Amino acid sequence: MSKKRPKLKPTTLVELPKETVGVYRPPRQQVFRDHRRFGFSNIVLVLVILFLFMPLFVVITYSFNASKGMRWTGFSLQWYYKLFFESRQLWRAFLNSFIIAITSSVVATILGSLAAIGIKWYRFKSRSYIQVISFLPMVLPEVIIGISMLIFFSAVKIPLGMFSIFVAHTTFNLPFVLLLVSARLDEFDFSIIEAARDLGATERQSLTKVVIPSIAPALLSSMLMAITMSLEDFVITFFVAGPGSTTLPLYVYSMIRYGVSPVVNALSLVLVLGIMVIALTFRRFLKTIAASS
């Protein structure tokens, strides 16, 4: 075991060193993880995943179709050719979406989980104010959030563009992060923090060595969720986007009506494959997180 104190990089809140000294791991029961039996819940899970993948299979099939319609006329790679060589605008939109998804999910995860800790464990004056306000963005119809933010941005002269979209996405992601992390914290035994403090840990130490490792799965889930929602959002983005900041959903939404969807189908497969490659590359890192749960 190395004696070096593990450093926490700012961008990867959830990263865990492989071998660590003094990192608290919540107790864990392996005995009852019964994975031999193929019970009712496993059947449902498999069916639901098939349900989730069904449209994806359709999309992938069509991306290799020689015809642009829904009729299968033969195998062809023409849409992939178009995607890679004749879709300048689409890639620009993709890059915009990617930047915004990453930045907004990181910021939302940091702000949201810190706030979750504050709200769950401490009592202070503006606590209920923050609780109420953090849940409102989930309830309001998207078009209203979009319009109101647009009016706000133009009133305070924040130019519309990547920054305004980033702000909007972070805002609608915050409540989800807060809720997910809070749900995890509910299960967290606060006395462990007290124990850590009694043993002389500073606030920061107890945060980085005790709290974050044990809520890592929730952090990961919230970040995934935030990225997903950011990559998905159309309505709010439509209003707060400025000249030259068209995101992928905006582009896809407008192009899907004009018969160019096979290119988008091709893009879908490329994206899924790309993400899988990334996921496999980082497999070890993901495993560490799983192990910490």
22 vs 55 by CB, closer to other proteins? 55
151 vs 199 by CB, closer to other proteins? 151
- The token duo for 106 is 């990181």
Give, as one character, the DSSP assignment of residue 26.
Answer: -
21 vs 54 by CB, closer to other proteins? 54
Please state, in angstroms and rounded to a whole number, the distance separating the CA atoms of residues 230 and 137.
Answer: 14
Question: What is the nearest approach in angstroms of other proteins to the Cβ of residue 20?
Answer: 17
Question: What is the nearest approach in angstroms of other proteins to the Cβ of residue 194?
Answer: 11
* Residues ≥6 apart with Cβ < 8 Å to 156: none
Question: What is the nearest approach in angstroms of other proteins to the Cβ of residue 282?
Answer: 10
Question: What is the nearest approach in angstroms of other proteins to the Cβ of residue 43?
Answer: 8
16 vs 178 by CB, closer to other proteins? 178
1 vs 11 by CB, closer to other proteins? 11
* Residues ≥6 apart with Cβ < 8 Å to 279: 286
Question: What is the nearest approach in angstroms of other proteins to the Cβ of residue 219?
Answer: 10
Closest alpha carbon to 22 in 208, 181, 188, 191: 208
DSSP assignment of 19-75: S-SS--------TT---SS--HHHHHHHHHHHHHHHHHHHHHHHHTBSSSSSS---B
Question: What is the nearest approach in angstroms of other proteins to the Cβ of residue 66?
Answer: 9
75 vs 258 by CB, closer to other proteins? 258
Asked if 226 contacts 177 with a C-beta cutoff of 8 angstroms, the reply is yes
Give, as one character, the DSSP assignment of residue 126.
Answer: T
